[in-house]
Structures are given as structure tokens and as C-alpha cells.
Chains A and B, each alone.
Chain A
Amino acid sequence: MKKLTPEQLSRLHNHLLGNSTNDALITELLDHLACEAEEYLWKGYNFDLALEKITQEANTKAVKYLRETYQHEVAMTAEQLENASLDDIIFEFRNKAYGAYDLRQSYPFALRSALILGVGLFMMLMAFLSGMAQGSWSFLSTAGMMWMLGVCGVAYSLGTWFFRKAPHRYAVPA
């Protein structure tokens, strides 16, 4: 049995990408077309001819038909639609791993963190200025309390941000 070389595979892959194949289908389609190509090679065609035959078959129209049937077939059921958010509906069949969907999902959390952080910093600044103006410092005064509250707020928002979101979420898995 003849095998495809990596560069022949990547040519097929590029062809599929060029026809904007579904994310969910592209690895399977690549395998499918590669199997077909190998069959042609086995029958004695050279790779270029095989590729031409395959790209003829898997042209933009065929891939578009595939995408449409796919979206029609694998669409959300009525039950799923009931529980789906607007984001889920808009981003069905689209990339959810990173980018816009991810940003939208984490928006309430980011907003809350930013609010607590902002208020905390403001309280710390006010307490600091009032301490400077008075020339003396006591943690038991109003300014001292504000300072401590501000520090808590800042620490809380930075801490939750770090544990929920932060670098490790965006790290490339090994």
C-alpha cells in the first residue's frame, strides 16, 4: 500500500482549508481524502493526478454542501435551545476555545474584578492622602480602616483573577 508523504498530506490539508471546511470535520475529511489519494496511487496514478481528481470531487461546492447538511443535521435540539444563551446560539459551529466567545463568557467576572480593584485602589489612595494631610497614622482611624478595606479589595480581585483566568489558562498545553 502506498503512503502519502507529509508534504502531500499538507497539500490536501491546504486544499481543505482553502475551501473553508468546518473545524469539527477537517481532521476526518483529511483522513478521508488521504485514503482516497492512496487508493489512486495504488491504482497507479501519480500524486498530482490523484490530487486533481480529489480536488475536483471535494471542490468548494461539495464542501459547502457538507457544511450546510452538517449544520442542519447537528443543530441544537429544541431542548438544548431552551437552555442556550444568546452566545451559545451565535457561536454554534464556531470557535469557542478562545477569542470572542471566551471573552464574552468571562465578561461578568472581569467586570466585577475590575470594579472591586478600582474601588479598592481609590480607597487606598484616599486613605493615603488623608494620612499624609494629618501627618500621623493610626490603623484604628477612619482612614486606617479605609486603607485596610482597600488592600483587601485589591488583594481579592487580583487573587481571584489570577486563580481563575490568568496565565495558565492561556499557556500552550504540553
Chain B
Amino acid sequence: MEATSNEFLRGTLKTIVLKLLAEQGRMYGYEITQSVKERTNGEITLTFGALYPVLHKLEQEGFLLTESEEVDGRLRKYYTLTPSGSATAIQKVSEFERFVEAMQILLQPQQGLSIG
């Protein structure tokens, strides 16, 4: 599961992060991994090695804002969406939904095609 799900995950990681931030508003890295794990019942687990590069990339592209806060003696970095980030989140999610629909059509067994 690990290796294969990673392969599918790589292209959708940005969409997942943007979507979660659009829903929850303000999150930090560990919170994102936990929330993905809970909502998928442990089916998808984000490793920190995959998550943080994406977060920093999105920040660099101007989709995310960060603020650091001290929590329990360590700095915690919170991420929020910028206006262009929100727009991208909506666009990416709808693109991905279309993709999933198309995939489902592809995965369904073809019936009656040989007749025609």
C-alpha cells in the first residue's frame, strides 16, 4: 500500500493541502497530517518528507501565508490561504473531481461494447 499510494499521492498533495486549508482556515504541519489520517481512517498517511516541501512551495508561489507562534516552548508555524490560494483551491478541487469521475468511468467494466 505504502509505495503505490505514494505514487498516486504525489500529484494530489497540493490539492489536499489547499482543500484542507480552505475548510479549516488555519493549520500547522502536524495538524494537516493528522487530519488527513483521521478523515481517511488511516488509508492515506502524509509523511513529513512529502508535506513540508509542498507547503513551502505553495508559500513561495504566494498561495499561503505563514505566522509563527510559540507553543509549549517551541515555534509553531501556522499556514493560511491567501486570496489567490483560495481561488486555486477551488479550481484544483474541481479539476480533481472531474479527474476522479473520468477515472471511475475508466475503471468500470465495459459492457456491451463488443456488440456495437
Residues of A within 8 A of B (CB): 3-4, 6, 9, 24-25, 27-32, 34-36, 58, 62-63, 65-66, 69-70, 72-74
Contacts and interface: CB of A to CB of B under 8 A. Distances in A.
Given A31-B76, A73-B56, A74-B53, 4 more contacts: A4-B72, A31-B77, A32-B33, A32-B48
Contacts of B56: 24-25, 70, 73-74
Contact of A69 (B49, B76, B77): B49
B73 A6 contact: yes
Given A3-B72, A36-B30, A74-B56, A27 B77 contact: yes
A31 B29 CA distance: 9
> Is the contact region of chain A dominated by helix, strand, or loop, or is it mixed?
helix
A158 B53 CA distance: 45
A32 B29 contact: yes
Interface string B73-103: 1111100000000000000000000000000
Contact of A35 (B30, B49, B77): B30
Contacts of B72: 3-4, 34
Contacts of A3: 72
Given A65-B49, A70-B53, A34 B74 contact: yes
A58 B57 CA distance: 21
Interface of B: 28-30, 33, 47-50, 52-54, 56-57, 60, 68, 71-77
> Is the contact region of chain B dominated by helix, strand, or loop, or is it mixed?
helix
Contacts of A34: 72, 74
The 3 closest A-B pairs by CB, nearest first: A35-B30, A66-B49, A73-B53
A31 B50 contact: no
Which of B49, B72, B73 counts the most chain A CB atoms within 10 A?
Answer: B49
Nearest to A71: B53
11 contacts: A9-B74, A24-B56, A27-B77, A29-B48, A31-B71, A31-B74, A32-B30, A58-B48, A66-B52, A70-B52, A73-B56
Contacts of B28: 31
Contact of A25 (B30, B52, B68): B52
Contacts of A27: 68, 74-75, 77
Contacts of B60: 74
Contacts of B71: 31
Contacts of A66: 48-49, 52-53
Given A4-B72, A27-B75, A62 B49 contact: yes
Contacts of A74: 53, 56-57, 60
